[in-house]
Structure 1
Amino acid sequence: MEYDLVDFCKSYLEEFHLFSSQLACVSSLPTRPHNAHWLPPIHEQLKLNSDVAIRNGSGFVGACGVLRDDSGIVLLSWAVKIRGTFSVIHGELMALHECLRIALEKGFFVFIIETDAT
């Protein structure tokens, strides 16, 4: 059952990124290369990755996050829709805020945060 949840979350995030790449989205620059690899945090720490997709004129942004341990095991993953019109950096900050809120609400203390915002 737990494995199915991880597969679902990975699939959901892949679909989120595919959707955001097919739309006329605004993205922070420079973008990360597609062949970038996730680097784990040091021993016994947690790492949060967050991202945002902004579609101009839609009135909302999509935010997602993944929380992993030092072995790369996904502890939490989520995607949410946030109402509002935001600049890229504001959207990234809103996504990060939401990701931290969810992680803390679930009882996790995040040591490292990674995002593609500049």
Structure 2
Amino acid sequence: MPSTPNPLLKELGLHFRRARMAAGLSQEQIALRANISRPRYRDIETGTAAARATTLVNVARALGMEMMLIPQAMVPAIQSMLQPATGDDDHPAFMSDVEVQEHE
């Protein structure tokens, strides 16, 4: 009987797939950059197989991303920074204090 796919692996694979598609790259290109086989990359992207942390870091870097460990307590703050702006605030998402003063 086949095992149930792990939701975390599926989610991670989906992030990798979206990044790869946005970059216009093939699975073969990412696999080559990450120094793994294309079938291995496919299994990671589809969430059907787990991978070592070093492999996941290499895949992320092949996609121009970094994997980071952050304290769980900071997740809501980071997620809010990554959300599109709402309301009348027309400031860019990230500005230095000097830029904020000049913008006002």
The TM-score, its normalising length taken from structure 2, stands at 0.29
Question: Which structure: greater strand fraction?
Answer: 1
Q: Which has the higher helix share?
A: 2
Larger Rg: 2
Compute the TM-score of the two structures, normalised by the length of structure 1.
0.27
Higher relative contact order (Cα pairs below 8 Å, separated by 6+ residues): 1
